[in-house]
Amino acid sequence: MATGEPLFQDIVTGLAGAVGRGERSTMPRVIGGRYGLSSKEFTPAMAKAAFDELKAAKPRTNFTLGIDDDVSHLSLAIDESFQIEKDDVTRAVFYGLGADGTVGANKNSVKIIAEDAGRYAQDILFTTRTNRARKTISHLRFGPEPIHAPYLIAQAGFVAVHQFVALKRQEAAACRGSCATVLLNAPYTVAEVWIGCPYLYSRRLSTRSYACSSSTRPRSRARLGLGSRTNTVLQNMLFRHFRRAAA
């Protein structure tokens, strides 16, 4: 494997040159690693793992963050429960498909909460395209103070799956908190929704503190002329969740 990442090599070379010129008496300990492999998000928990490694008695010169490196075995252990956001920040993640109204509903929610409720809001949206459909994932934060969080939500208090197919692709299972409300827009009744859920996802829900809701309102959408758009119906459930959390 390489002796280190490009920035690591530049720093070591610069420090070695300073020692050689007599500008420094000793060579400090320098460690470096790689992150972002496979387009993995770099989170505060990963940054903490790097700092914890630096404090170790014998830190690794090279390490990997974000993936299970089964080749070099240099992956650092990450405490997924670690977060730096305050408890008064509301975190919500929404999974949808292109043109289903999820993105528009979230933008309206941010506007309403920021302007009418006097809260600070942040909306991070990204889309992924497959051969069949364009998937959308929205990360929303609301709080009483300015929000400075240029990273995705790792533990959400509210997870809305506007398209049930997202569960079958195991995307929504990655975003989970120790105590979260999960809203499923499912083509099943409340009694049948567990049968329709993929086994892995239903097992994760059953072993954690989740409050699940099943929304099956095709007649309501048809009566309102919404067609396949779910935004108006499901947006009301988001505000209902906020009212319960504030009560």
> DSSP string of 39-89?
GPPP-HHHHHHHHHHHTSSS--SEEE-SS--TTT--BPP--TT---S-TT-
The one-letter amino acid code at 105 reads A
State the pLDDT at residue 47: 92
b/e for 70-81, b at 16 or more Cβ within 10 A?
Answer: eeeeebbebeee
Q: pTM for the full model?
A: 0.74
Question: Looking at residue 157, what is its pLDDT?
Answer: 82
Q: What is the predicted pLDDT for the residue at 11? A: 93
pLDDT for the residue 13:
93
> What pLDDT does residue 27 have?
93
Structural domains in the chain plus CATH codes: 6-64 (no CATH), 90-246 (3.40.920.10)
Averages of pLDDT over each 10 residues, the chain, 247 residues: 80 94 92 84 90 90 86 87 86 82 83 82 81 78 89 84 69 58 75 67 54 50 55 72 65
